[in-house]
Each structure stands twice: as C-alpha cells, then as structure tokens.
Amino acid sequence: MANQEELIPIYIMGKRYDVPASLTIMKAMEWAGYTLVRGVGCRGGFCGACATVYRIKDDPKLYFGLACQTVVKPEMYLGQIPFFPAKRASYDITKLEPIAATLFTTYPETLRCLGCGTCTKACPQELNVKGYMAAAMRGDITLVANMSFDCIMCGLCAARCPAEEPQYNIAILARRLYGRYLAPRSPHLAERVEEIQSGKFDAEIQNLKSLDFNALKERYSAREIEA
C-alpha cells in the first residue's frame, strides 16, 4: 500500500511535502494535492508536455526530466516550466527543397549555435542535440533527421539555449524534409497502395464489416503472422 511506503521530503514551489518514494514527480504532485490541468499530456513519456527542472539539496547541478517519468528523490526541489512559444516558422513542405539553404532561410538561428552543449544537457531523452545542431549548420538534413528521431518536442533545449535557438523546431523541419524527399521509398508500400486504390480489398473489407464482435476476434486470432 502506498501509505505504508517510506515517505521522503520534496519541495514543490518552495513548500515541503512528504510523499511515497516510489512516485513519479507527476504522481507526487497529485499526492500532495495539486490538480494538474496544464503541463500534463500523455503521461507516458511521449508528448513532452511535463518538462520539469529540479535541484537536490546541497547539489549545485540543475537537473531536467519529464514529470511523468522521473521518480522523486529526497530533498528534491521542483520547478515546473510553463509552456512558452519558441519560434516556429510557417511553411509548406511541398514547396521546400531538401537542401541546406532551406534550413538556413527558414530558421536563420541555426547558424547562431555556440556549440556550448546546454541543449544536450537539458534533453530528457538524452539526445545529442548539440551534435544534430552541428549537422544542421553543415546542412546535413539526413543526419539531423536521424539524430533527432526520438525528439518528443518538450522544448527544454530551447528553454536553456543562450543563443535563443528553437532546436526542436529546426529538427522537425529536417525530419519532414527527409521523410518527404530523401528517405528511401518502400516498393512494398507503393505496391500495397496501388492494390488498395484498385479496389483489390473492397470485398474483404465489406465482409469484415459484416461480422459481429466475436467473429472478428476469431478472425484476428487466426490471422497469419509474419516471422
């Protein structure tokens, strides 16, 4: 039972609360009586909405994490980061070219990177943000896309950047350019799309739509699964 667990002291906005040691920051805040209506999204570590900074007593380091994933520690001092808009350019991806100049003209800030590494230190996904920004300054769209693939758009990199760069927005532009223009095309996907458009599966789809729930479950369980 949670109320039988060891309780540890944490500080939320300067006020002390004793909470179970097994809770995440988000659950600990709710345990303490906070009703979370902002800075809460998927609760599964994917959306990046719950970016949090914290310090530990007598430790000068500033730590970063997602409140839904980071487990509380004794003498943790928490500060939630409210959402604020980093620069986000408007563009039509179908009218852009997958070249370095696209990055530089859409986000001129790309070339302001100081290489300080603050963005990498702030990333809760432990991505090499400094590395993909270096690739962006070289115009290597493919490398930026691959290195930033696991970005969850929490914005902590931009929040800490002394050059005021929106690293995560630069990265998603690179991923969109890569996905539309540079990523290898799958011949199997093109073949399947052509089959769908030709109506090859129309009769089978209608048959599935006519089945009741139990019959659908049986069909699903009996499906052929690739090795």
Residues 178-190: pLDDT tens digits? 999 999 988 999 9
Domain that holds residue 29: 2-80
29, 53, 80: which is the final residue of a domain?
80
CA nearest neighbour of 39 among 86, 87, 10, 79: 79
Place of tokens 């690293």: 167
Q: What angle do CA 66, 131, 182 make, to 5 degrees?
A: 100
Tens of pLDDT, residues 3-48: 577 999 999 988 999 999 999 999 999 999 988 877 787 888 778 7
Q: Of 35, 53, 80, which closes a domain?
A: 80
| Alpha carbons 87 and 164: distance in angstroms, whole number | 9
**Do both 111 and 163 map to the same domain?**
yes
Give the pLDDT score at 82.
Answer: 67
Based on the structure, what is the number of domains in the chain?
3
Q: What predicted TM-score, i.e. pTM, was given to this entire model?
A: 0.71
